[in-house]
Chains A and B, each alone.
Chain A
Amino acid sequence: MSEDDLQQATLELALRLGDDALVLGQRLSEWVSNAPYLEEDIACANVALDFIGRARMYYGYAAELAADGRCEDDFAYLRSEREFHNYLILELPRGDFAFTQVRQLLVDLYNSGFLAQLCRSRDATLAAIAAKAMKETRYHLRRSREWVVRLGDGTEESKRRTQQALEELWGYTHELFEPDTLEQQLAQAGIGVDTRMLKAHWQQELEALAREAGLHLPQNDWAVRGGRTGYHTENLGHLLMELQSIHRAYPGCQW
């Protein structure tokens, strides 16, 4: 790839990572004032804020690379559903508390592997964002891990719901480890991460955790894909409608 192509691809990657962070941050923030008790409410808000901050860093870098006058707000508020390239698992409705924590565990575990690699990127900005995000992800992962063990190893009802969440989410995890051409090229260029390499460790960690929690990992008998190409579930449109409503009602408004 030429340097120009690489820069264009890096911009695309920064946007994808920004979309991942923004969509999950928005979903988590829906727990504010709805979580099971006050400390959990605050914890969800804290984690949501980390993801929204992460989105700002990625979008800010994308704006720098685009150098066409667009800023982070243009990416977050003025793109439509098909222009978002987040993984589908992140846009699914928050569900019950078990669903939220199981999704968080699957994603935190993925992020901890992904960010550890991105820290070594030869793109200094992506490496810096990853180093920062990595520290926060350690806290996220400890919490989601504790919750899933506690719920899985809890009452009959909490176990049933946690196992059910795992079944409902499992088919959405496959695309996390299926990089497209752009992501593979960036990985070869030392900028991105080849996510295929992350799967074995991710699966191994999950198996150990499932044993501890008394859960079992589902069969790989279905998969839904499309996030990275802009083909979404119906849920993203609803999420964006809320996320973008103020900016669309008051164009150009700033905090």
Chain B
Amino acid sequence: MSSDYSDRLRRREASPLAALWELLDRVRDPELPVLSIWDLGVLQDVTCGNGSVVVTITPTYSGCPAMEQIRADIERVLRAAGIEALEIRTRLAPAWSSTWLSPQGCARLRQYGVAPPSDGVAAEHGLTPDAGVVCPRCGSAHTLRISAFGSTACKALYRCTHCCEPFDYFKPI
């Protein structure tokens, strides 16, 4: 478990607003619906001040279009629960890191057919490796990178030379 994830977990466990955190678990990544914004590491904090709920999020990639959708979904879920006064704050620092993914989120990604960051050994500067990411379908490490840029900003494309299937790798950043 990464220390970044543990910090977030401690914040959640110490929060008196457990019900709100759980409510926000319903907000999913629109491109990877197996991940909640908690699993993804986007949800940083939920607080309450002056009668208003403040949700703090950190964007994944600078231009990721999913962030707009996520903001709208947070608002929808909270309003549906009767919360009128709410504010969504964006926190840029520290920059989002794939080490913020929850362990449950990593397991769910794998089941979904996407290799989580921990299923590969990062190359220099923490970039995606040329080979050796474990195939989420057959478990073989005989895999090769096709492209460092996949169908969304957070994924890279790989090919398994054992089962011959292509797959996505949630890239370390």
Contacts and interface: CB of A to CB of B under 8 A. Distances in A.
- Which of B126, B151, B153 has the most chain A CB within a 10 Å cutoff? B153
B92 A57 contact: yes
Contacts of A49: 61-65, 153
28 contacts: A25-B63, A39-B146, A39-B147, A40-B147, A42-B147, A42-B157, A46-B153, A49-B62, A49-B153, A50-B61, A50-B62, A50-B153, A52-B62, A53-B59, A53-B61, A53-B63, A53-B64, A54-B62, A57-B92, A124-B93, A128-B95, A131-B92, A132-B62, A136-B62, A136-B173, A139-B171, A142-B148, A143-B149
B151 A42 contact: yes
B149 A128 contact: no
Contact of B63 (A39, A54, A129): A54
A54 B62 CA distance: 6
Interface of A is mostly: helix
Contacts of B125: 138
Contacts of A50: 61-63, 153
Contacts of B132: none
Interface residues of B, number: 26
A128 B63 contact: no
Given A42-B151, A49-B65, A53-B59, 12 more contacts: A40-B147, A42-B150, A43-B148, A45-B149, A49-B64, A53-B62, A128-B93, A131-B95, A132-B96, A133-B62, A139-B148, A143-B148
Nearest to B146: A39
Contacts, number: 81
Nearest to A57: B62
A52 B109 CA distance: 28
A45 B151 CA distance: 9
A47 interface: yes
A132 B63 contact: no
A56 interface: yes
B173 A139 contact: yes
Interface of B: 59, 61-65, 68, 92-97, 125-127, 146-151, 153, 157, 171, 173
Given A53-B61, A138-B125, A132 B95 contact: yes
Interface in A39-95: 39-40, 42-43, 45-54, 56-57
Contacts of A131: 92-95
A123 to B, nearest CB: 12
A133 B93 CA distance: 12
B162 to A, nearest CB: 21
A131 B97 CA distance: 11
Contacts of A47: 149
Contacts of B94: 131
B171 to A, nearest CB: 8
